[in-house]
Amino acid sequence: MAELPDNPDELEIVIYPHPALRETAEPVEDPTDPRVRPLVERMRKLMMDGNGVGLAATQVNVKARLFLANPTREPGDEVVMINPEVVESEGWQQTEEGCLSIPEVTCRLRRRQRVKVRYQDLDGQSRELDATDFLACIIQHESDHLVGRLIIDRVGVAGRMNIREQLSRLESRFESSRQTAGR
């Protein structure tokens, strides 16, 4: 089961190639655990500050099967999905996706146009949502994060060539910050 932080106020979005982005999230045993809401509030703030439309717990270095999705970017419009599972999908759409954990990188991807997802809400209630278009894309993107998959893993060879310089810069920055922290 997922380890939830006691004090999420210090959490920040981790940046590629941080190892947490490759972790597989663990189920949240009790969505009503008093540590869940503060975690969600911190994630909401980070997502909004970053002008994002979704954020998975793994992106803040928490291995919990939990994410937020907010296609409107309007405060209060987010959907919190705990222990989500995509149970149906159909159709295809082309997307242009970025990621708060991979700044300055966008990828053209092929995603399902419609998904049905089962999840629990903050009250522990089981829910089902039929999502299409942009919301379906966000759900798939954040679900990928919960299994350690990134948008850069979904691009073809040509797409990978187009972003290699940006990824190389992010990798260099990450290594420099680790060396500085180790001193």
Closest to 44 in 3D by CA, of 60, 29, 22: 60
Give SS3 for 180.
Answer: helix
pLDDT at 182: 65
What region does 25 belong to: left with phi over 0, alpha with psi -120 to 50, or beta?
A: beta
- Per the DSSP assignment, residues forming a β-bridge with 111 are 93
Please give the residue that has the higher pLDDT: either 76 or 141.
141
On whether the 8-181 domain is CATH 3.40.50.720, my answer is: no
- Residue 142 carries which DSSP code? H
Annotated catalytic residue, options 3, 97, 142, 175: 142
Tell whether the model's pLDDT for residue 183 goes beyond 60.
no
Burial level of 86, CB count in 10 A (0-12/13-18/19+)? middle
pLDDT digits (tens, 9 = 90+) for 158-168: 999 999 999 99
Q: What is the pTM of this model?
A: 0.95
Please state whether 134 falls in left (phi above 0), alpha (psi between -120 and 50) or beta.
Answer: alpha
Task: Tell me whether residue 74 is one of the annotated catalytic residues.
Answer: no
Confidence band of 179 (pLDDT split at 50, 70, 90)? confident
CB 82 within 8 A of CB 32: no
Q: What is the pLDDT of residue 180?
A: 80
- Residue ranges covered by each domain of the chain: 8-181
Instruction: Name every residue whose Cβ is closer than 8 Å to that of residue 149 and which is 6 or more positions away in sequence.
Output: none
Q: How confident is the model at residue 144 (pLDDT cuts 50, 70, 90)?
A: very high
Percent helix, strand, coil in the chain, to 5, is 35, 25, 35
Cα distance from N-terminal residue to C-terminal residue, the chain:
34
